[in-house]
Amino acid sequence: MLTADEQSRIDLALQEIVAELELESIPPPLGEGRVGADTSPSPLAGGATPPPLAGEAASYPPPLAGEAASYPPPLAGEAASYPPPLAGEGRVGASEDIHMAIEARLRQKLGPLGGKLHTGRSRNDQVAVDLRLYVKTAGADLLAAIAALEAALIARAEEHLDTVMPGYTHTQRAQPVLLAHHLLAYVEMLRRDRGRVEDALTRADVSPLGAGALAGSGFPIDRTALAHDLGFAAAAGNSLDAVSDRDFALELLAACSIAMIHLSRLCGEIVLWTSVEFSFAALPDALASGSSMMPNKKNPCAAELVRAKSGRVAGDLVNLLMVLKGLPLAYNRDLQEDKEALFDGVDTTIVCLQVAMRLVLGLKFDRDIMRTAALSGYTLATEAADYLSRKGMPFRDAHRVVGQMVAKGIATHKGLEDFSLEELQQFSPLFSADIFDSLTLEGALRSRDVLGGTAPTQVKEALARVKA
């Protein structure tokens, strides 16, 4: 076990190593950082080196920074040097991975004391701890990006509490709704996304440290205290599960995948709304692109790319699921493949949430076009059927009667609101003058005055709830 002085020396040395690794990760400027590097300007644009002339020594393509030229490959009988060896091959004492590399540096700095770092530990529990710490940080970033998009949708909804648009089923105009009501539907989706991320973070908040390779540490450590020191809520209760569990990563990726499906739906609607066929909204130039050939085009490429990337994140989830499929307990090197899918899925989702936020804030809605569209397509037919039902007619009969009215309207190019009372009474004597209060956009909206409905009073209450 370590004394307080030994622990302090190791902590200080580890801080130095972290700083050194950060410096090494910064690439040097072109031409710098290599012994004997030629600092004269290249004769070709971009710094490219031309291939040698006939008879000259081969030097093209140029070697990577710091490497000796090894191309073209040697001729038969020459010492093989191409392709270059994989990392760790052909070098005596090369570190196997980052864990062993850090320990080697620690021994260089502290001597035998550095070899105590790994006491009671395994790479298996260490990498599981690191991944859980990453998930906790990434989850917080996801929650912040979700909250930003929520705030954008809420702000736009508040601007459009009186903007009417057609609601759709089967991509056909169905009934009038408020634009605010439509936007708040996506807030509901994002609230569920937020809950899934938070739920995943709850299960990620467990420390595997002290589980060892699989059977637990052979030293009398306080795993609960270690967990709390690292910011975890608890220590894992089973060492075999602790080093092999990646459910927390799957859950975060699943939450990302569902969030991306929601973004694909939102962006799919933005693509439709900004088309000439709909013309409900327009995007600023910064969020659209033109055509290389057609001067009239303004393409919603940002929305299209977010829509497409939903498949990428769903693929990351399936990738990780297949990595875990059939794995026996406990740790297996297959788990090394968990990171690419997890990192890509999280990074892609965060970027897409940020882009979607900009799209929502940048949309310029055309209230007049949306209102006109909300009244076309016989969207008030349900109001007429409900009216007859309130008068005592069974709804199925009312549905049939109003269907006949719609057929007559199509044949005569008239909307239901354009029929006279006498024409309406030809379909049913239950119609009276008060029907015309229902056959308006405002009347249709007011009638949907139930919790979750599109009536203005309900939408205002919904807005107050999500702002609370």
Residue 182 annotated to the active site? no
Residue 132 half-sphere exposure, CB side, CA atoms within 13 Å?
30
Task: Label the pairing between strands 164-169 and 172-178.
Answer: antiparallel
Residue 428 annotated to the active site? no
Q: Which helix (H) or strand (E) holds 435?
A: helix 435-438
Task: Label the pairing between strands 206-207 and 281-282.
Answer: unpaired
Residue 48 half-sphere exposure, CB side, CA atoms within 13 Å?
8
Check if the beta carbon of residue 270 is closer than 8 Å to that of residue 320. no
The 3-state DSSP class for residue 250 equals helix
d(CA 97, CA 102): 9
d(CA 342, CA 252): 8
User: One of 25, 170, 292, 413 is an active-site residue; which one?
Assistant: 170
d(CA 110, CA 396): 86
- Amino acid, single-letter form, for residue 410: I
User: One of 291, 376, 420, 432 is an active-site residue; which one?
Assistant: 291
What DSSP character marks residue 39? -
- Amino acid, single-letter form, for residue 42: S
d(CA 171, CA 187): 21
d(CA 132, CA 201): 9
Q: Which residues are catalytic?
A: 170, 291
